Structure 1
Amino acid sequence: MNTDTHGWRKVAAISVQLSALSLILSACNLPQPQADTARHFTLTGPVAATALPDGMVVRPVQLAGHLRSRAMAIRVSENEVIYNEDARWAESLDDAITQLLRARLGTIGGGNVVTVQIQRCELVRAEANAVQLAATYSITPPVGASGEVRRGSFSASPRTWTGGDQGALVGLLREAINEFGDALAVAVVKK
């Protein structure tokens, strides 16, 4: 028996099968890979000032539930929010806002404790692309100090995003948060 011929038949059979499989796979309309269009944004930058040892303490900011997504929230009506999957936070929004407020308030002495709840930090399409920041806060005197807990609310001054560059939108949100930090600093001094 000629084993050499038998081996060639096996190779030929496998070759035919691989060719058939190759034709089947090439006939499939497999989708082409798509480029990732998502852009990732951050609110924070390098911290310029050093916090004082007895500086204000900013507890971690609490966000409204709809703001906890990495995708940027966009309010399209009073009770409807959509998420822009192409504009994502590179860091959690609560951590970013906490860092901005700590950088602003940590240089103010007195040791007060600030607690913040953010209700809005978003683009509002239903109001001509208004950029809104709304929050409530409490300022508690340091342990052992006299004084009452002061509570307040804040709404940022009007800002409008002109569309296009999402980085400009993030800049407007950062401006609103910095405005909030300034308002908290004034509230502490007023006592």
Structure 2
Amino acid sequence: MSTFWEWKHTFPHYKSHHNVGGLPKDMKLKLIEPLKLLFKDEVRQLGSILDVPDSFLKRHPFPGLGLAVRVSSDVTKGNALDVLRQVDEIFVQAIKDAGLYDKIWQAFAVFLPVQTFGVQGDQRTHSNAVALRAITSEDGMTADWNNFSHEFLVDVSNKICNNARGINHVCEDIAPKLPATVEWE
């Protein structure tokens, strides 16, 4: 089974600057992209003018290729993706419960390609680690990491380790954009 990483290098045009364009030139159909040159913040402004509901406009960006770009290892059916979906749901729900969702530009979890030792319940474990990334931004072009309270991080880490099968370490990504990018791919 090929991995996402093999696919990404086979099709290097999979993503261009800010997800604008990047499709093969030899397509046999006409592509209509009325918003092609707009950035995310500009699309949101346009949506507001057109009375698109806030719940849709304020939704965090999601990678065009899907959740697999947030798995830093081989992606096969039923492994890291299932765990990552669960971790991501716990993290984003905790952000919503804390009333922070609309203040954060984007938040997500990344499945790391490392196994770590830990203790869960009365048993020693050799499980996986995840990183949590949350950024604030006005336009998505530059961003800073969101400064969560210590209490929030303790709570979400405990929820993840207690509820996500196979996770015993949680890290926080505090790199700004730039030099980092938002996604890890």
Rg: which structure is higher? Answer: 1
TM-score with structure 1 setting the length: 0.31
Higher strand share: 1
TM-score with structure 2 setting the length: 0.32
